[in-house]
Chains A and B, each alone.
Chain A
Amino acid sequence: MPLKIVVCVKQVMDPETPVSAFKIDRDAKRVIPAPGIPPVVNGFDENAVEAALRLKDGGDAEITVVSAGDNFVMDVMKKPLSMGADRMVLVQDEAVEDLDGFATAYTLAEAIKKLGEYDLILCGRQASDWDNALVPLGIAEMLGLPCITMAQKIEVTDGGVIVERAMSDGYEVVEASLPALVTVSNELGEPRYPTLRGIMTASRKTPDIWSASDLGLDRARLAPSLELADLFVPVSDRQCEFIEGEDEADAGRQLALRLREEKLI
């Protein structure tokens, strides 16, 4: 029996969008997509796909990628398939576009239930837009699963999972029995690049598209649980004093003297 892995991914605006191109429509309380910069699969979710692929490299596994939204850019969303995932399910519906973490967790948990059997659910540690780190914990709570966050290494044993959790000064080793949910951090290592063959294979695959009604979602549970009252770009009032010198080496010298003058060193 292959290990059945579900990986949850989110399409987000490119978090490396230059600060100067980051704009907000304050009336609509939304970020305006920067022209010419396509969205990406959330980076930590790619780490989760990589974690799944490593388990598949080391044994028999079947990887299904799940996402919820409406405005998917298919070329972007297919990246996990090009990396080597077997199947993709998109809950694609106006009703599930731009949900908050609670509603997203509900939607994904229902999608995972519909998928049926699973051993391991992997998610990125957080999404780089709202940085909530809420959805994976919610899915685990709703499905009643053990939850281990911040994995930098995942090992599946007979009926269980052993996870190294990245901590700020080292790591913890935590274990649970399967099925379980694990969130993955970038300490796991760079996600692999899709190979040409991977891209060819992915181009022949079409994601399964499910609607909100296919999942029997309760619309009342899709409403946000907090009211977004304002969204704005913070302004910095700091003024940088540029230190110059006869040449760059002299500027370094002048900088030290200036910092001493300010009693900063």
Chain B
Amino acid sequence: MTEILVVGEAANEKLQPVVGELLAAARSLSASTGEEVSVAIPSAGGDEEISSEAIALGADRVYMIRDPLLAEPSLDAQVAAIETACRQIEPSTVLVGRTPAGRDLGPRLAFRLGVGMAQDCVQIELDDATQRVAATRPVYGGNAVARMIFKDANPQIVVLRAKVYEPLEPDSSRKGDVVAIQANLDASVIQTRLVETVNREAEGVRMEDAPIVIGGGRGLGGPEPFEMLEDLAKLLGGAVGASRAVCDAGWLDHSYQIGLTGKTITPGLYITVGISGASQHMAGCSGAKSLVAINRDSDANIFKEAAFGVVGDWKNVLPSFIETVRELVKS
């Protein structure tokens, strides 16, 4: 019996949130294939809590990959560890999360195993006709959607976009086995060395977790108007974000960028000001429940996705909007 293998990214002795999402996707696929779902975790400590958590989130089996080289964070070592596990386990399918590590790990694994891979997928299912995995993914910056079916070679490697599948409710009564794999990696697998990590975490609410996000675009004309957006965000307990045009112009740091090549946000409300709604921007905010657009061009693409819109110059619209919000929030 083959199995569906989830790559269990862990950091600081904790599973990454994306692993719960991958397990949910794996369970939905296994409902069609009847296969078991397992997780392979390059272990850097905290094995016991991590494996119980993985089982509670839907794994039937946890492979703890052990190797001295895994003690330090190294993507090279993790790729080699997962490669070793795949050669032993021979899974039918491997699910990888599209995290900074996962989007490199998936392709590297595919090239090493000589098999196909689908990047940045938003849905997977078993194709009826071929009984192979079918993966759906946005392409052309989100302008198009492709559905791709794996050919014969296993494993079928899928890199899944984060925050698309909902993790299952953890169930601590679920049972599963824990199997240790000794990877016996050679030190030569490590070809790059992490020297330093520099964090520039913004103050206040993190954009990725914020219930409300206020996004500004090139239409704001410069960095100064973003102070108004900051005011609004403070009033609403939200965070400020921006389009790539704003970050490339240097008005704000790139950590503010929302979109395909920036952050993915899933707030209840996303208010955009002076953003045209290019598909690459929308790719990062399609998970927002309600979208509001303020833009002076009634034909702007942003209005095609918006629930509420005002066609107008932000210089006229925004001050009265913010004042009214201030009054409403107070009352």
Which residues of A line the B interface, CB within 8 A? 13, 15-19, 22, 24, 31, 101-102, 105, 125-126, 128-134, 137-138, 140-142, 145-150, 162, 166-177, 180, 185-187, 190, 225-234, 236, 238, 240-244, 247-253, 255-260, 262, 264-265
Cross-chain contact B212 with A227 (CB below 8 angstroms):
no
The answer to whether A168 touches B263 (Cβ under 8 A) is: yes
What are 23 A-B interface contacts by the 8 Å CB criterion? A15-B280, A22-B143, A31-B140, A133-B103, A134-B119, A146-B192, A147-B104, A147-B192, A169-B201, A172-B196, A173-B197, A174-B192, A186-B244, A226-B135, A227-B149, A229-B147, A233-B143, A233-B145, A238-B304, A240-B306, A248-B313, A255-B317, A262-B290
Mostly helix, strand, loop or mixed at chain A's interface? mixed
Interface of B is mostly: mixed
Q: Are A248 and B317 in contact (CB under 8 A)?
A: yes
Does B117 touch A at the CB level, under 8 Å? yes
Q: At the interface with chain A, which of B2-10, B171-179, B318-326? A: B318-326
Contacts A185-B261, A186-B261, A249-B316 given: A255-B144 contact, CB under 8 Å?
no
Assuming the contacts A137-B108, A170-B200, A248-B317, asked whether A225 and B151 have C-beta atoms less than 8 A apart, the reply is yes
Q: How far, in angstroms, from A187 to B255 measured CA to CA in the complex?
A: 10
B149 and A226 contacting across the interface, CB-CB below 8 Å: yes
* A56 CB to nearest B CB, Å: 23
Residues of A within 8 A of B255 (CB): 168-170
Find out whether the CB atom of B193 lies under 8 angstroms from the CB atom of A176.
yes
B155 close to A (CB within 8 Å): no
Q: Are B308 and A250 in contact (CB under 8 A)?
A: no
Is B49 on the interface with A (CB-CB < 8 A)? no
- Asked if residues A128 and B198 are in contact (CB atoms below 8 Å), the reply is no
- B11 contact set on A, CB distance < 8 A: none
- Which of B146, B199, B317 makes the CB contact (< 8 A) with A170? B199
For B100, B145, B261, B316, the residue with the greatest tally of chain A CB atoms inside 10 Å of its CB is: B261
Q: Which residue of A lies closest to B201 (CB)?
A: A169
Contact in complex: A19, B193 (CB < 8 Å): no
Contact A236:B145 (CB < 8 A) given known A175-B195, A249-B320: no
Distance A31 CA – B323 CA, assembled complex (angstroms): 46
With contacts A236-B304, A243-B308, A247-B316 taken as known, whether A15 is within 8 angstroms of B111 at the C-beta atoms is: no
Tell whether B134 is near chain A: CB-to-CB under 8 Å.
yes
Name the one of B107, B151, B310 contacting A133, with C-beta atoms under 8 angstroms. B107
Residues on B with beta carbons closer than 8 Å to the beta carbon of A262: 290
Residue of B112, B196, B310 near A173 (CB, 8 A) is B196
Q: How far is the CB of B200 from chain A (nearest CB, A)?
A: 4
Q: Is the beta-carbon distance between B111 and A138 smaller than 8 angstroms?
A: yes
Q: How far is the CA of A142 from the CA of B110 in the complex (A)?
A: 12
Residues of chain A within 8 A (CB-CB) of B252 are none
Give the most central of A31, A177, A185, A256: most B CB within 10 Å. A256
- Residue numbers in B under 8 Å from A251 (CB-CB): 310, 312, 317
A131 touches B120 (CB 8 A): yes
A13, A177, A228, A257: the one within 8 Å of B146 (CB):
A228
The 10 lowest CB-CB distance pairs between A and B, nearest first, are A225-B116, A252-B321, A146-B191, A256-B324, A248-B316, A248-B312, A252-B320, A141-B111, A252-B317, A170-B200
Question: Any chain A CB within 8 A of the CB of B24?
Answer: no
If A24-B144, A102-B116 touch, whether A252 touches B303 (CB-CB below 8 Å) is no
**Most chain B beta-carbon contacts within 10 A, residue among A180, A186, A249:** A249
Q: Please give the distance in Å from A240's CB to the nearest CB on chain B.
A: 5
